[in-house]
Structure 1
């Protein structure tokens, strides 16, 4: 009897406990009300249970599991919805996005939740750009540019005057993974780097991650620049664009079926070539680029959505029939978002990417042609499983088939290399975001990556002295050497109080594709190569630690980060490398290691009439390559001790706004000759220690003013007037040496002294 009573009591207690712990899930999609665009990074708070929160993902999806009961959910400080939770609830929500010229109070209301994200999120070394801020900043030729904007952030260095190439925490330019709607962009520049491939009118979100990558990202050592295109307004049609001194752009967006599907197309073109046609001397020359973005998204039903997006861009540079140089990118992405259950979200992507360049030289009956490309077919599957309010699990896989075609020609005789280098890059990844308690949050995961060489192809094997020791021939479709790597990731955030936190992280990254380049600026003819029997995967290990603080009114943000990065299997050219006559470029490579460390400081003012930031970087970047510089450490080309940027934006009136950007940096490391000698009347320069000298320091001030013209109705327009390099500083672009009697002298080439610009923008 006692045993029976005890069993019944235990069953009753267990049932009561189970009932008390009964939980259900609220899930849905967050959208912007006026356009229907999904919104990521929106924080959902539970008034009754402050520790129970959720954040919308890149596609606007959120999931929040709570005990059975009645709750008030806050999507922003003034937008609260009551929910009776007796079963799983699907709750889509629209948020009103206020225009910049409305009251400051409304701006603060809309951004207050986001302003603390820099404290409680585990992400460290991450910057998210505001597209509206990009519109205001002064840039060269008046072309708003996300790549120019990220170069104003600490830890990110410019590739040169007016150049869109960039270096992150001591890494090379090829160590940045640049994604447009998940598709890799292998050359993100136009006109030899003075413009980027990204038309800001077509962009929705821009995020750069400086090395501490979440587990779903891989393939590069230094950073991930994740760019997402707009989805298109599914409520009404909009036309916007701009007319500048050397380029114009036009975007059209609207619903295909209202609230169900939408599209956006955006195009841009320069017209410097049209001015050339006015001259008899230059009328047969070509100098222009164009790009085209398109995207459509379709809600099949409440739980399934399809995205189709693409980009096509081309540069054309030519001098009559004698010289022509064309290069460009093509990308395409098909994505399927599926809400499998209130807790499980799926994203499946089929991705295509192609970059190619062509050079032809016809002179005195001699023909020289170069044609090269890299083409990818990519399948990516990601899952997000919201286990509970304290654990969010992300996992999936990615596989990419690379085809790299190097072509080489000399004179009229074709030396085309028919060996298309093929490789299969694959990865599995899993990570968990774990809210340990009110103060501590962990994000830990692991990525398993591999790269396999695939035939048909012939591969030379060299020893450390660049002597050929073996040749491996792979038949079509046969797998050759495979490299495997394990990449652990860990990040944490610890809240010290309501206004400050400490963050830290460790990440190992592996890179299987490498860029052959002999310049810091980067040129379209720089060529990608994959792992081989000589070239091993590059590996980086980065440790970061940072302190983050907001002011009590949240108008000011401050952060300080330190980092140390160790690099393995780094590639450089050996001393005296012959980059022209060699039959196999791998015979000119040398290998070694690298290290980079530094301090990054950032102070921001986020609201009010005056906004902006001050960023400063103190850093050191070195390489140690076998056979180079007597096997001693030497400065990397992109090593800069100091890097400073000061950015301000001021709303003078409701119609007029002013902005400025000042930048200063230590000059790039460079190798100067320490002597010379003559052979048959030709001067030969002798070089000693690599990168032992520096070019002069770089500094520049840009200013701009924007006037919003008043109109009646839906038509909007503005004028932007700017000056690049206001005080005409002649910053070094290239330094060459020439004989001057019995002595040699250095000759500096500078590109831009002072460039005014004016752009007319419109929207209706």
Structure 2
């Protein structure tokens, strides 16, 4: 009996030992710079249980006590295998090294998370190296223009960086820079974006199936993370182009403890054009335009459990004109001065604290401040001085229009990974909004007539509070079925009104075989802020306004179904279909605009609904000597407003039936890269007059005829522009130097000089004729460019 009891005791102890589970956690970083690797994979080669690192490089995996072999992998890096006997909770920080092109294919491809394995659908990550390798307008690398090449994303007008995702408007994109919303992402009236690729670490676009941690917009999330700064060595990189130059510096303040990065960019269009302008004037006029932006970040590791980040972005666009005239005749001095300016820009800042409570629980606490403002001014001063008389007569005035939005926010996010079958995220946030939809300040002083005016016309600042909380879980049921279940709860307090929204999120993935999966998702979204816009070219006159008692929040729901397959040779193929309904959209009524500051903006808008549906195909390759993608979109998008188009549905301006894009980067030789992009899109929908007639005008002047030609318009957006297509190409020559690397990049935009439509107008054949013809205005012919890039 004693022997039997002893045997049973040994069996029980052994059973308890082998059923015990422990957690491995830590950070995955780049071996050369110390940068966090986002989405790196961790796999137990024995059980095939795995996980991936979060936005800050943190990972956690719980496994049974046993001898294990962990494999760490990331696209473009050499995999690392680690064998150990797991007997307790263990912290392991791993550094991966970049691999050669051949090693990429052989080593990392089998171990990276494949497209068919993830529950997330309608999401695309584009490597920064690929973004930098593609051709760019005037040689300026642009993150948003690269995203325009992806299926489901429309580009707006020729050359602009506007983003229209699955039938949504530009205000329906949640653009995050280090977790802080960016309200205007355009420089140069939309032709460049505010994001400097040299300062960016990761870019992800989500078009549908939104996880519960995201909220506040209807159509997309563009999540952009800044670099953290090299923890080991001082480095720099930059470029000199034909319109702008930039420089990035990064390095350790204290090796492996504290690092910094600062990156700046400025155009010099104004400096180049100044001699030409001066030659065409009498020398007293100064006219110019430029933009600049600065990214900066500090990163400090207190320990393996605590880390602090301070990041900021500052950018401005400025157009200015100054004129001064002086004259002295017959004892009288006259001075005439005029100065006009147009300025808009963003400030974003974030203070973040990462803390690991346990190997399974990770938190990120963030305080943020952001501001977008638009400022247009016109100031004059006229002085009259009679030299033999004391004092002078002054006539001066100022007209200044201001608008913008300012946010103060706090949020906390938790990652809880109890086992490889669950990845739980939960958190909450609060935002204090300050809206200034538009105000006109007028000041006039006339000492001759002893008259003075100082007044403010237009909307005053509106304050609102936005709250949100969420929970989601990635649940794995067996080896084939996986779910992402989530709930997002949000609220908005403005004036005496409080809006709330409960938004369920569901995404599922089923593996048909090892290489193929079927995915489906359903999401509901709410948006408590609106963008009033007069045009589609990213003009800064667009105004951000809140939901009010009269204008309700925007809402949407989206269904998506797709197939994902991992092909041989490093290719990934996805096919998705979607259907989206949007409610409480707003547009200016016919003839209304931001200029009418004497009217409340709520009286100038119409409220309606929208819908979009279609299918998208993406064939992508991220590894090897040739990388890139082929994307195709078939879609329908329309709007319905009771007060517009007689209440009938009409095509959205950026409704395009077909959209095709091809982007390729080819490493031809060790020191030569070739790249090209080709895009095709059906023409934009526009409204054109279909008849002209003579009408009597009671308001005609005495010296003008009482009869005037009046255009008659049919249904809204019932005509189409010509189809759009364009080929861009570039070649890069790289060379290793004793101090680093230098590259010459030669590119061409619109290589076969296609005359793509920018807008269409009606012109009279003769001045007095009742007949006319439609004429197309094209913006960019073939445009060559070059830039010099360097790293040290």
Q: Say yes or no: TM over 0.5.
A: yes
Query: What's the counterpart of residue 119 of structure 1?
Result: 116
Matched, 1:43 2:41: yes
Matched, 1:693 2:710: no
Query: What's the counterpart of residue 549 of structure 2?
Result: 533
Query: What's the counterpart of residue 757 of structure 2?
Result: 732
Query: What's the counterpart of residue 709 of structure 1?
Result: 735
Query: What's the counterpart of residue 406 of structure 1?
Result: 437
Alpha-carbon shift at residue 575 of structure 1 (Å): 3.9
Contact 2:312 2:347 in 1 (8 A): yes
Matched, 1:336 2:377: no
Alpha-carbon shift at residue 576 of structure 1 (Å): 4.7
1:126-181 alpha-carbon deviations (Å, 9 max, x no partner): 01011001111111010011101000000001021110111000000110010100
How is 1:606-617 mapped onto 2 (pairs within 5 angstroms)?
606-617=622-633
Give the one of 463, 469, 478 matched to 1:428: 469
Q: Matches of 2:613 and 2:179 in 1, distance apart? A: 29
Alpha-carbon shift at residue 718 of structure 1 (Å): 0.4
Q: Matches of 2:106 and 2:711 in 1, distance apart? A: 61
Alpha-carbon shift at residue 755 of structure 1 (Å): 1.0
Query: What's the counterpart of residue 465 of structure 1?
Result: none
Give the one of 570, 581, 588 matched to 2:585: 570
Give the one of 232, 238, 250 matched to 2:235: 238
Matched, 1:132 2:129: yes
CA gap 1:683/1:95 in 2 versus in 1, 3 angstroms: same
Query: What's the counterpart of residue 471 of structure 1?
Result: none
Query: What's the counterpart of residue 92 of structure 2?
Result: 91
Contact 2:458 2:599 in 1 (8 A): no
Give the one of 176, 182, 187 matched to 2:173: 176
Alpha-carbon shift at residue 212 of structure 1 (Å): 2.0
Query: What's the counterpart of residue 250 of structure 1?
Result: 247
Query: What's the counterpart of residue 30 of structure 2?
Result: 32
Alpha-carbon shift at residue 78 of structure 1 (Å): 4.8
Matched, 1:349 2:346: no
Query: What's the counterpart of residue 499 of structure 1?
Result: 515
Q: Which deviates more from structure 2 when the two are superposed, residues 677-686 or residues 397-406?
A: 677-686
Query: What's the counterpart of residue 331 of structure 2?
Result: none
Query: What's the counterpart of residue 644 of structure 1?
Result: 660
Query: What's the counterpart of residue 450 of structure 2?
Result: none
Alpha-carbon shift at residue 367 of structure 1 (Å): 4.0
Alpha-carbon shift at residue 491 of structure 1 (Å): 0.7
Q: Determine helix, strand or coil for the equivalent of 1:117.
A: coil
CA gap 1:125/1:427 in 2 versus in 1, 3 angstroms: same
Alpha-carbon shift at residue 96 of structure 1 (Å): 0.8
Contact 1:128 1:207 in 2 (8 A): yes
Query: What's the counterpart of residue 494 of structure 2?
Result: 453
Structure 2 unaligned runs (5+)? 323-337, 383-395, 444-453
Q: Determine helix, strand or coil for the equivalent of 1:264.
A: strand
Alpha-carbon shift at residue 106 of structure 1 (Å): 4.1
Alpha-carbon shift at residue 14 of structure 1 (Å): 7.5
Alpha-carbon shift at residue 289 of structure 1 (Å): 0.4
Alpha-carbon shift at residue 267 of structure 1 (Å): 0.3
How is 1:7-86 mapped onto 2 (pairs within 5 angstroms)?
18-50=16-48, 52-76=49-73, 78-86=79-87
Query: What's the counterpart of residue 559 of structure 1?
Result: 574
1:224-264 alpha-carbon deviations (Å, 9 max, x no partner): 00000000110100011000011100000000110111110
Q: Matches of 1:72 and 1:550 in 2, distance apart? A: 25
Alpha-carbon shift at residue 17 of structure 1 (Å): 5.2
Looking at CA atoms only, which structure, 1 or 2, has the larger radius of gyration? Answer: 2
1:28-76 alpha-carbon deviations (Å, 9 max, x no partner): 11111011111121111112211x2111111111111111122111113
Contact 2:101 2:624 in 1 (8 A): no
Contact 1:33 1:95 in 2 (8 A): yes
Query: What's the counterpart of residue 104 of structure 1?
Result: 102
Query: What's the counterpart of residue 673 of structure 1?
Result: 689
Give the one of 306, 316, 327 matched to 1:314: 316
CA gap 1:19/1:608 in 2 versus in 1, 3 angstroms: closer
Alpha-carbon shift at residue 416 of structure 1 (Å): 3.2
Query: What's the counterpart of residue 278 of structure 1?
Result: 275
CA gap 1:753/1:136 in 2 versus in 1, 3 angstroms: same
Contact 2:307 2:354 in 1 (8 A): yes
CA gap 1:367/1:665 in 2 versus in 1, 3 angstroms: same
Q: Matches of 2:6 and 2:602 in 1, distance apart? A: 78
Q: Matches of 1:576 and 1:34 in 2, distance apart? A: 58
1:656-711 alpha-carbon deviations (Å, 9 max, x no partner): 11111111111111111223444335544332311111122111111100000242
Alpha-carbon shift at residue 613 of structure 1 (Å): 1.5
- What TM-score comes out, normalization by structure 2 length? 0.89
Q: Matches of 1:252 and 1:410 in 2, distance apart? A: 41
1:591-644 alpha-carbon deviations (Å, 9 max, x no partner): 121110011011123334333211110000011111222222111111111111
Query: What's the counterpart of residue 468 of structure 1?
Result: none
Contact 1:594 1:624 in 2 (8 A): yes
Alpha-carbon shift at residue 721 of structure 1 (Å): 0.3
Alpha-carbon shift at residue 182 of structure 1 (Å): 0.6
Contact 1:407 1:415 in 2 (8 A): no
Q: Matches of 1:530 and 1:9 in 2, distance apart? A: 73
Contact 1:520 1:638 in 2 (8 A): no
Alpha-carbon shift at residue 203 of structure 1 (Å): 0.3
Give the one of 256, 261, 271 matched to 1:259: 256
Q: Matches of 2:784 and 2:167 in 1, distance apart? A: 32
Contact 2:745 2:788 in 1 (8 A): yes
Q: Matches of 1:489 and 1:707 in 2, distance apart? A: 47
CA gap 1:303/1:729 in 2 versus in 1, 3 angstroms: same
Q: Determine helix, strand or coil for the equivalent of 2:144.
A: helix
> Over aligned residues, Cα RMSD in angstroms?
2.3
Give the one of 337, 341, 353 matched to 1:324: 341
Contact 1:78 1:109 in 2 (8 A): yes
Q: Matches of 2:11 and 2:412 in 1, distance apart? A: 43
Alpha-carbon shift at residue 80 of structure 1 (Å): 1.1
CA gap 1:743/1:579 in 2 versus in 1, 3 angstroms: farther
Q: Matches of 2:360 and 2:378 in 1, distance apart? A: 59
Contact 2:666 2:674 in 1 (8 A): yes
Q: Determine helix, strand or coil for the equivalent of 1:119.
A: coil
Matched, 1:167 2:147: no
Q: Matches of 1:113 and 1:704 in 2, distance apart? A: 32
Query: What's the counterpart of residue 291 of structure 1?
Result: 293
Aligned length: 730
Contact 1:408 1:414 in 2 (8 A): no
Q: Matches of 2:120 and 2:628 in 1, distance apart? A: 22
- What TM-score comes out, normalization by structure 1 length? 0.92
Alpha-carbon shift at residue 361 of structure 1 (Å): 2.6
Contact 2:563 2:575 in 1 (8 A): yes
